[in-house]
Amino acid sequence: MDQAITTLKELPGVFGVCIYDAGNNLVVNQMPPFFPSATLTGLGAMLTDLISLTRQKLSKASDITLHFDEISLIARFLTDKTVLVIGEPHMNERMVSYSLNMLGKPQQVSVTETIQPAPSATAPAAPVEPPAISSASDNSIIEPYITELKNALTKAVGPMADIIFDDALDLWQQAGATDFAAFLTTLQEEVSNEDQFDRFLEAAATEISEIKAREK
């Protein structure tokens, strides 16, 4: 959780983050000093009432975004907590959503003991051949450059670069990984900010040129 909160605070345009428990108690306050705790506590209760009214019409609603002239509020309602992000109106809501998704993921617990399956009395089933991987879904064209491309994306969009890049890579592979131009288009849609994507193209110009040359 701490890493996800740090990532949220480092996003451009984000002022701070706070988290309420199920009883609307303020349990994490990473807001600037000009946001008094008393104000934030009252805001948590108001947001809970607002999402309750919203869910009467939209039962699956989990987020509320409020835009004002000089500030925006994004609230994510999870099972046992509410996360509130306050920032400038132009903060990248897609990146904020990525970070909020990280907060909503359950923590993985490592298993140290392995349970051995009981011996089976039935005849062993015939081995199942693994599915063949078609060349169309092969990402070998860009695989040698992934580290450099991620570094370039980090320079452009900040700490969410790895998540955005991996999501774009997954979407590209699911679509058949047809060519590198299609990957760039997918990545551009995931970044959803033209200035940031242009900075990525500039930072990764050498790698992009080499990948395009490999395709020919």
For the chain, the domains span 1-104, 143-215
The model scores a pTM over 0.85: no
Nearest CA-CA partner of 160 in 12, 1, 41, 40: 12
Please classify residue 196 by burial: count the beta carbons closer than 10 Å to its beta carbon, then call 0-12 exposed, 13-18 middle and 19+ buried.
Answer: buried
Question: Over its length of 216 residues, how does the chain's per-residue pLDDT go in tens digits?
Answer: 677 788 888 888 899 999 988 888 889 998 888 888 888 888 888 887 887 787 777 777 778 888 888 889 998 888 788 889 999 988 888 888 888 877 766 544 333 333 344 444 444 444 444 333 333 345 678 888 999 999 999 888 887 788 888 888 888 888 887 788 999 998 888 888 888 889 999 999 999 999 988 887
Q: Would you say 81 and 19 are in contact if contact means Cβ atoms under 8 Å apart?
A: yes
What's 1-104's CATH class? Answer: alpha beta
Nearest CA-CA partner of 86 in 49, 51, 36: 36
Q: Would you say 95 and 10 are in contact if contact means Cβ atoms under 8 Å apart?
A: no
Q: Would you say 127 and 174 are in contact if contact means Cβ atoms under 8 Å apart?
A: no
